[in-house]
């Protein structure tokens, strides 16, 4: 038997297209509110004329409100968006995508959000929302949460709700600093997560990549040793998945090691490990912080990465990821992943 949505897609495809368009508008306003019409038009690729018509309709239905600051959702608008999300998952086949990827990767769960963060950067905020929702179900009192850096993790930080602080959480950076972009380093991201949720955090001011001699010296420092102990006793880890060459350049990798990564056809990086398309480790840097083996003993591991271009890196890393991993990705990456 056909469902009502199957029938609608066959008999009234234009109705489904209108639903998708209005869903995207409500979704964007919800993430970015208050937001101006020009920003909304540019981000969604809609002409001013089309957007004006849609905004007027949504306003008449009391789903959005207008102010001098911009548009925002009404309470009814939020309720409608919640209902629409469930419907759109079925229409676009996202639920089926999740099941396919979970079986293919052999991991605990896959969560896919609509959109492609390569084309629409605001989709990263939706990845953050999805990660926060997954965390909410798993959090326990006094949990220690280890966090890596990167722009996706920074987006997750912005989406964490204040009520997480009721759990008396402790956020710790999973590793030392990488590159020069301070706001996206693990220290900054974990501090922002703590600030957003009214929780505690510890800083870990050590380099991400060091020589063996310096590693031994650092780990003998009482403070460093104490924070390392907290990191390794974390009950939850939030991490991104990087493109191998991009991460190597960010670490100012020397010529010999860069050649090793390139010759090994590295496509992915996580926790200082570089992987080829088969998930084999082609290079490992000496990092101070969480190691790949440590993940096996951690109960909740969330890997967050999206964008069509990230599919190769995600596919590679998932061949090494612990079975407890929950992958949170977007539709752009997911549709590329199921084809590979």
Show me where the domains of the chain are located.
Answer: 4-91, 94-339
- The band of 311, judged by pLDDT with boundaries at 50, 70 and 90, is very high
pLDDT of 12 reads 62
The closest alpha carbon to 320, from 282, 263, 264, belongs to 282
Residues paired with residue 314 on neighbouring β-strands, in sequence order: none
Helix, strand or coil, per DSSP, at residue 235: coil
Task: Give the tokens for residue 14.
Answer: 């234009």
- The band of 289, judged by pLDDT with boundaries at 50, 70 and 90, is confident
Task: Look at strands 281-284 and 300-304 and give their pairing.
Answer: unpaired
pLDDT of 225 reads 81
d(C-alpha 313, C-alpha 249), whole Å: 16
What's the DSSP call for residue 146? E
d(C-alpha 202, C-alpha 263), whole Å: 38
Please, are residues 221 and 303 in contact by the beta-carbon 8 Å criterion?
A: no
Task: Look at strands 273-276 and 281-284 and give their pairing.
Answer: antiparallel
- Cα-based distances in Å from 205 to 174, 218, 321: 11, 11, 27
- Judged by average pLDDT, the poorest of 174-183, 250-259, 280-289 is 174-183
Which tens digit of pLDDT belongs to each residue from 240-274? 999 999 999 988 888 999 999 999 999 999 998 99
Give the burial string for 185-218 (b: 16+ CB within 10 Å, else e): bbbbbbbbbbebbebebbebebbbbbeeeebeeb
Which tens digit of pLDDT belongs to each residue from 193-228? 999 999 999 998 776 665 666 666 666 777 878 888
Decide which of 108 and 182 is more confident: 108
What's the DSSP call for residue 133? H
Decide which of 288 and 54 is more confident: 54
In this prediction, residues 115-128 reach a mean pLDDT of 91
Please, are residues 305 and 111 in contact by the beta-carbon 8 Å criterion?
A: no
Task: Give the tokens for residue 222.
Answer: 């009482």
Task: Give the tokens for residue 303.
Answer: 């890997």
Which tens digit of pLDDT belongs to each residue from 56-97? 999 999 999 999 899 999 999 999 998 888 888 887 889 899
- Judged by average pLDDT, the poorest of 27-31, 278-282, 285-289 is 285-289
pLDDT of 161 reads 94
In this prediction, residues 3-8 reach a mean pLDDT of 63
d(C-alpha 186, C-alpha 234), whole Å: 15
* 13-32 vs 48-60: helix crossing angle, rounded to 10: 80
Task: Look at strands 266-270 and 242-243 and give their pairing.
Answer: antiparallel
Please, are residues 313 and 244 in contact by the beta-carbon 8 Å criterion?
A: yes
pLDDT more than 70, % of the chain:
91
pLDDT of 40 reads 85
* Average pLDDT over all residues of the chain: 89
Decide which of 10 and 63 is more confident: 63
- Helix, strand, coil content of the chain in percent (nearest 5): 55, 15, 30
- Torsion angle of C-alpha atoms 232, 234, 238, 241, degrees rounded to 10: 20
Topology of domain 94-339 in CATH is Rossmann fold (3.40.50)
In this prediction, residues 86-109 reach a mean pLDDT of 90
Q: Is the pLDDT confidence value at 179 over 60?
A: no
pLDDT of 279 reads 95
| Total-model pTM | 0.86
Topology of domain 4-91 in CATH is Arc Repressor Mutant, subunit A (1.10.10)
């Amino acid at each position: 038997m056909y469902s009502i949505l199957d029938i609608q897609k066959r008999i009234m495809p234009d109705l489904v297209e209108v639903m998708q368009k209005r869903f995207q508008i409500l979704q964007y306003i919800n993430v970015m509110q208050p937001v101006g019409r020009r920003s909304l038009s540019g981000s969604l690729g809609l002409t001013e004329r089309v957007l004006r018509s849609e905004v007027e309709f949504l306003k008449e239905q009391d789903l959005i409100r207008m102010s001098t600051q911009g548009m925002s959702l009404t309470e009814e608008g939020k309720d409608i968006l919640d209902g629409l999300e469930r419907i759109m998952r079925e229409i676009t086949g996202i639920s089926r995508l999740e099941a396919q990827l979970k079986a293919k990767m052999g991991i605990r769960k896959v969560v896919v959000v609509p959109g492609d963060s390569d084309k629409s950067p605001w989709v990263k905020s939706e990845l953050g929302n999805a990660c926060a929702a997954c965390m909410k179900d798993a959090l326990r009192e006094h949990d220690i949460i280890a966090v890596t850096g990167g722009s996706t993790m920074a987006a997750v930080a912005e989406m964490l709700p204040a009520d997480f602080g009721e759990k008396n959480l402790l956020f710790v950076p999973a590793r030392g600093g990488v590159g020069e972009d301070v706001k996206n380093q693990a220290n900054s991201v974990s501090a922002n997560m703590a600030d957003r949720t009214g929780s505690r955090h510890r800083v870990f001011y050590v380099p991400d990549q060091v020589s063996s001699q310096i590693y031994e010296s650092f780990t003998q420092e009482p403070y460093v040793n104490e924070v390392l102990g907290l990191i390794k006793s974390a009950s939850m880890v939030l991490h991104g998945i990087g493109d191998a060459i991009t991460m190597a350049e960010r670490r100012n990798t020397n010529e010999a090691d860069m050649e090793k990564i390139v010759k090994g056809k590295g496509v992915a990086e996580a926790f200082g490990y570089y992987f080829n398309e088969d998930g084999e480790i082609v290079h490992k840097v000496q990092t101070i912080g969480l190691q790949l083996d440590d993940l096996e003993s951690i109960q909740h591991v969330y890997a967050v990465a999206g964008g069509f271009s990230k599919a190769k890196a995600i596919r590679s890393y998932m061949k090494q990821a612990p079975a407890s991993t929950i992958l949170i990705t977007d539709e752009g990456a997911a549709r590329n992943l199921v084809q590979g």
